[in-house]
């Protein structure tokens, strides 16, 4: 749903121009520094980029799902690290509060997240809870007016720089699977909370990822999201259903950018007395990539509109995330091919970095295999009328 066409048009134009003029020249620096410069983070705060998905009453833009994915197509047409700086606040790091937080919790944290004064992060994955996300071992024990958290979270985006963590922990001892899980807000600085060293990764330099440790970490009982125990996994599924559409859009922007770069290169590069872009075998890669980008955009927009209409998008969100992340990998591979040797050499092109950056899309927020299983499960359930 688009609430105000002109306002949205202005936002998209602003993002498009900003990404091209400000971010594209910075991509190498961000990779070398393995950090997004604070001056850029200040610009993102001033432009309101941190608050896209946070409701207006809490200082955000309150974008609808359709508006959010349209903005995500634009902001993701640069190195992943740049959009990842705001990405947890506009997605997994704030959404549990938006979906299920109490009024008091929303008022306390969302305005600061919308303003970019606090960086949020979602800590679900653990050493023994990856694809089996319900196998959470982190415990939360109620003691008077506090919960005591113990456990370890793994591969948490923005953990090294986050101020506020949404943490999933087992509040019901001896429970199994999704029952007995609760979601909490934990603030940096709470004794017993520690983040690990940022990992060395295959790509996405500048988007820090680390472990998070809880060692008798004592948090006020009022930090239980929604004030209700045992519903943490339901909250996280709400977060992920929306986030899968958001992430699918964030997988589509890099594909658009890679194809642009590859077309430019093939038009300039001369072999056999002409641009390599004249060769039909190169044009086939352009056609396949453009077709898949179009398919990705179309399905994401349709699912986003359905979500805005209040429809259940569990199946379509899963299909979008699966298709868009795999599509982006295929476009990355073709783009390297269209660049030839220059696509493999980072001194000659940014395609080598994109190729590495986008590889993670097929792994996080549900691997492709988990989405295949989920899609099949939902289709087969509908098929048998159960």
Catalytic residues: 365
Nearer to ligand FAD, 11 or 140 (CB): 140
Stretch near ligand FAD under the rule CB under 6 A, chosen from 108-116, 124-132, 272-280, 300-308: 124-132
Question: Looking at 105, 125, 166, 289, which residue binds ligand FAD (CB under 6 A)?
Answer: 125
Check binding of 236 to ligand FAD (CB under 6 A): no
CA dihedral sign of residues 360, 362, 363, 366: positive
**Which residue is at the shortest CB distance from ligand FAD?**
130
Candidates 30, 96, 122, 140; binder of ligand FAD (CB under 6 A) is 122
Alpha carbon distance 130, 297 (integer Å): 28
By CB under 6 A, residue 2 contacts ligand FAD: no
Does 181 sit near ligand FAD (CB under 6 A)? no
CB closer to ligand FAD, 158 vs 349: 158
Considering the complex, state which of residue 131 and residue 298 has its C-beta at the smaller distance from ligand FAD: 131
Q: Kindly compute the dihedral angle of the four CA atoms of residues 290, 350, 361, 99, in this order, to the nearest 10 degrees.
A: -90
Choose, by CB under 6 A, the member of 185, 209, 327, 351 that binds ligand FAD: 209
Q: Which is nearer to ligand FAD, 125 or 241 (CB)?
A: 125
- Looking at beta carbons only, is 29 or 152 nearer to ligand FAD? 152
Site string for ligand FAD, 140-159 (x = CB under 6 A): ---------------xxx--
Whole-angstrom Cα distance, residue 210 to residue 196? Answer: 5
Binding mask 308-347 for ligand FAD (x = CB under 6 A): ----------------------------------------
* Smallest gap from residue 236 Cβ to ligand FAD (A): 9
Site for ligand FAD in 352-381 (CB under 6 A): 360, 363-365, 367, 369-370, 373
213 binds ligand FAD (CB under 6 A): no
| CB nearer ligand FAD, residue 162 or residue 249 | 162
d(CA 81, CA 94): 18
Closest CB to ligand FAD among residues 211, 352: 211
Asked if residue 138 binds ligand FAD (CB under 6 A), the reply is: no
Least distance CB 156 / ligand FAD (angstroms): 5
Is residue 134 within the footprint of ligand FAD (CB under 6 A)?
no
The pairing of beta strand 139-143 with beta strand 146-157: antiparallel
The least CB distance from residue 321 to ligand FAD, in Å, is: 11
Q: Using CB under 6 A, pick the residue from 4, 17, 131, 271 that binds ligand FAD.
A: 131
Give CA–CA dist 30/378, Å, rounded.
41
Binding residues for ligand FAD (CB under 6 A): 122-125, 130-131, 155-157, 209, 360, 363-365, 367, 369-370, 373
């Amino acid at each position: 749903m688009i609430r105000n066409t002109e306002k949205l048009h202005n936002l998209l134009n602003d993002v498009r121009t900003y990404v091209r003029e400000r971010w594209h020249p910075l991509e190498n620096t961000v990779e070398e520094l393995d950090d997004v410069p604070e001056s850029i983070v200040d610009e993102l705060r001033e432009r309101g980029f941190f608050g896209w998905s946070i409701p207006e009453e809490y200082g955000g833009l309150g974008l609808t799902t359709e508006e959010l994915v349209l903005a995500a197509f634009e902001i993701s047409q640069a190195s992943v690290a740049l959009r990842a700086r705001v990405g947890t606040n506009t997605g997994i790091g704030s959404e549990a509060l938006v979906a299920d937080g109490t009024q008091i919790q929303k008022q306390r944290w969302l305005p600061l997240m919308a303003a970019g004064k606090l960086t949020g992060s979602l800590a679900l994955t653990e050493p023994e809870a990856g694809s089996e996300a319900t196998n959470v071992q982190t415990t939360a024990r109620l003691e008077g007016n506090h919960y005591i958290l113990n456990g370890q979270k793994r591969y948490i985006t923005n953990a090294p720089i986050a101020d506020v963590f949404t943490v999933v922990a087992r509040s019901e001892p001896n429970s199994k699977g999704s029952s007995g899980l609760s979601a909490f807000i934990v603030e940096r600085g709470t004794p017993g909370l520690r983040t690990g060293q940022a990992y060395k990764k295959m790509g996405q330099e500048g988007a820090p990822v680390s472990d998070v440790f809880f060692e008798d970490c004592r948090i006020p009982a009022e930090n239980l999201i929604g004030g209700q125990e045992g519903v943490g996994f339901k909250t996280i599924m709400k977060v992920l259903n929306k986030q899968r559409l958001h992430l699918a859009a964030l997988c589509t922007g890099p594909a658009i950018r890679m194809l642009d770069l590859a077309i430019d290169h093939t038009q300039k590069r001369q072999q056999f007395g002409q641009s390599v872009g004249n060769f039909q075998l190169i044009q086939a890669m352009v056609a396949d990539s453009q077709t898949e980008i179009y398919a990705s955009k179309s399905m994401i927009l349709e699912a986003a509109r359905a979500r805005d209409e209040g429809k259940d998008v569990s199946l379509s969100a899963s299909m979008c995330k699966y298709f868009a992340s795999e599509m982006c990998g295929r476009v990355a591979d073709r783009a390297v091919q269209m660049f030839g040797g220059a696509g493999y050499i980072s001194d000659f092109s940014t395609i080598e970095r994109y190729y590495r950056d986008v590889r993670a899309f097929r792994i996080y927020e549900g691997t492709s295999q988990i989405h295949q299983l989920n899609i099949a499960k939902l289709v087969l359930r509908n098929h048998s009328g159960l």
